[in-house]
Structure 1
């Protein structure tokens, strides 16, 4: 009997293009395993799974999360600026209201 499999996607957005790959993987495959199987780490060598956060449909997950049918695994780029600090700078640069 053939091993049961599920359909999933792996994606990673870059400033000038995006990586998106659909895969059929065995039931029980983890986020880390599917990222490695997708070829993303070879195509975008700067990714370090110990540093880059991962998620499924915009919700942060751990590398040992077991995938379900039609999950889209997202590998996020590091933030260039702290969002709270960027907002403080924007607010601080506006003239005070009279």
Structure 2
């Protein structure tokens, strides 16, 4: 019987656009393996997440996982809400 593979995707997003790479990796692959196989540049990345939950490169992947490359925050979310509220009135 052959070795099983996992189908995962790696996503890097910006406002109004995104880049997605679909991968097939061997069973037992980690988030770090997916990053290496994706070929996406990792400069400027502040961290990683699996389905919206922060994760490290050592985390084991499962079939159907979505690895997200996280960008640094431009502004503290609380401060951004304050500025929007002040602008709206």
1:89/1:14 Cα in 2 relative to 1: closer, same or farther (>3 Å)? closer
Match of residue 62 from structure 1: 56
Match of residue 28 from structure 2: 28
Match of residue 53 from structure 1: 47
Indicate the SS of the match to 2:79.
helix
Gaps of 5+ in 1: none
- Using the alignment, how far apart are the partners of 2:19 and 2:84 within structure 1? 32
- Using the alignment, how far apart are the partners of 1:47 and 1:87 within structure 2? 24
Q: TM-score, structure 1 length as denominator? A: 0.75
8 A contact 2:44–2:72 mirrored in 1: no
Deviation at 1:71, TM superposition (A): 0.3
Aligned-residue CA RMSD in angstroms?
2.0
Which of 65, 80, 85 is residue 79 of structure 2 equivalent to?
A: 85
Match of residue 66 from structure 2: 72
Higher strand share: 2
Residue by residue, what CA displacement relative to the aligned partner does 1:20-68 show, whole Å, maximum 9, x if unpaired?
A: 0111001111111101111012xxx5344xxx22111111112211000
Gaps of 5+ in 2: none
